[in-house]
Amino acid sequence: MSGHGQGAESAPLLPRINGIAHEGESGRSGFHPRHFFSVLWRSSSQISMLVNILWPFVPVTIILHFVTDAPLWTFATSYIGMVPAANLLGFAGQEFARKMPKVAGILIETTFGSIVEIILFIVLIANHHDTSQGGGGGSDDGNLIPVIQAAILGSILTNLLLCLGLCFFFGGLRHASQKFHAIVSEVGSGLLLVAAFALLIPSAFYSALKSEAAPDPDQPLLGALHETFTRGKLQTDVLQISRAASIALMAAFALYIWFCASSQHSIFDEVIEMDEHRDADREEDLQKPKFTMTEALVALAVSLVCVTFLLILLVGEIEHVVKSGVPDQFLGLILLPLVEKAAEHLTAIDEARDGMINVALYHCLGPSIQTALFNAPLAVIIAWIMGKPLDLNFEIFMVGLLVLSILVVGNFLRDGESNWLEGALLVVVYIIIAIACWYYPDPEVATSNSLEGSGLVKVTMTRDALEQLQQLIKAGLEQ
């Protein structure tokens, strides 16, 4: 364990128990560059340490952006550079969280892991250009709403299927089976089901009424329709419902945080404490050098700057990536969540391998709950403030994916035990979804839940035929 003699921090954040320093203490104070970079390189695990070899992609991205005109290469290098930057943010958040009480530390660590996602949503919203009020068009036309909506659900699916599946798989390879506490799985899956239900209400509302909505008055069908319930009003109603639901979901998240924060001596704290004592690498982890509070804050600041800059470059090249043939839904549902969740996934997998299946499960379900209850509603509120029409009216295809994924994961969690086969099956489901998303058409074609395709049929006719049709309608009205 880190020494706490002459170089000990004069006022440690947490008290010592029986003369033993808390696992979050570094035994030092201030900022020491050599020690800082040594701890940064070692990271939280061997897997995370290997990720640090990707740091050269960060300066390469900067050079490509300012010196050359190669948007696809800039996107690729910034995408790869995001992995070590997000990993540093996750590790710095972890070091900061270890200096806090157990449950509060887990919540802080999860929050820092979601900062990447929040920054991504803000950058996407800022780069959105509303080229068509109806929401049609794709990213190549500046409309990033479909990408943002796909990224919201993709973040949840990535945690539920890919991250949880890899945790079960690698944990199962090292341990024949791993039992997790029912309170973690039940509360986690229950909250996720409620959050997903609330998140999908605007989509259900639109689907139920889209066939009844008439064309807008400025687009009458042969000058005959002037209904009050138009597609424009339906879109406005969906937007208002989405904003109201977002406020309600954020209130629910505040209640969730309050419940967890006030349960320091509850079953949650006991389960997490029990898992940490079962950690196969606990002694080695306790002996690792750690950041001081100052170094943790510096690492957080540096990683936030890198992540924000890389995401700005990444999102700026989306238009070129879509034009090159990558579908909007694949980009939002698969590619973006993969890179922004990389650090969380590495941490959770390492915990599952070390036998800390409850903590790993919390790191899989926790971010999914935060995305549904806070990050997605926050994106809607930010878009509202910026005057961008972001709503929660998801494509029917994505709605089906989310509901089925929650049912599959809930079924695997029901028995309170995991093995490598269940993990492999979850990963297979995720791969199948990724394949389907690659072939899913762009928004202007896939109009299952958008204004552009709600009951409109394109008809081509000659002027003579049109005049004859108008005469028939006029004669019918006179009768």
CA geometry: angle at 442 spanning 407 and 394, to 5°?
40
Contact between residue 133 and residue 148 where contact means Cβ atoms under 8 Å apart: no
The pLDDT tens digits of the residues spanning 103-147 come to 566 667 667 767 888 999 999 998 887 655 444 555 556 788 888
Least Cα distance to 438 among 322, 340, 350 occurs for 322
Domain ranges of the chain: 24-129+143-213+229-442
CA 175, chain centre distance (Å)? 29
Give the pLDDT score at 77: 92
Distances (CA, A) of 459 to 86, 372, 462: 50, 41, 10
Q: In whole angstroms, give the CA distance from residue 359 to residue 338.
A: 21
Predicted pLDDT of residue 125: 92
Q: What's the pTM value of the predicted model, to 2 decimals?
A: 0.78
> Helix 201-209 vs helix 182-199: angle between axes, to the nearest 10 degrees?
40
Identify the segments of the chain with pLDDT beneath 70. Answer: 1-30, 32, 44-45, 100-107, 109-110, 113, 130-141, 184, 213-214, 216-227, 261-288, 442-479
Give the whole-angstrom CA distance, residue 340 versus residue 123: 13
pLDDT of residue 92: 82
> Which among 1, 6, 46 is positioned nearest to 19, based on CA atoms?
1
- Residue 418 bridge partners (DSSP): 178
β-partners of residue 417 are 179
Considering the domain delimited by 24-129+143-213+229-442, tell me its CATH architecture. Up-down Bundle (1.20)
User: What confidence score (pLDDT) does residue 289 get?
Assistant: 72
Which pLDDT belongs to residue 60? 92
Q: In degrees to the nearest 10, what's the CA dihedral of 218, 221, 223, 225?
A: -80
Residue 15 has a pLDDT of 39
The DSSP bridge partners found for residue 115 are: none
Q: Using CA atoms, how far apart are residues 378 and 3, in angstroms rounded to an integer?
A: 43
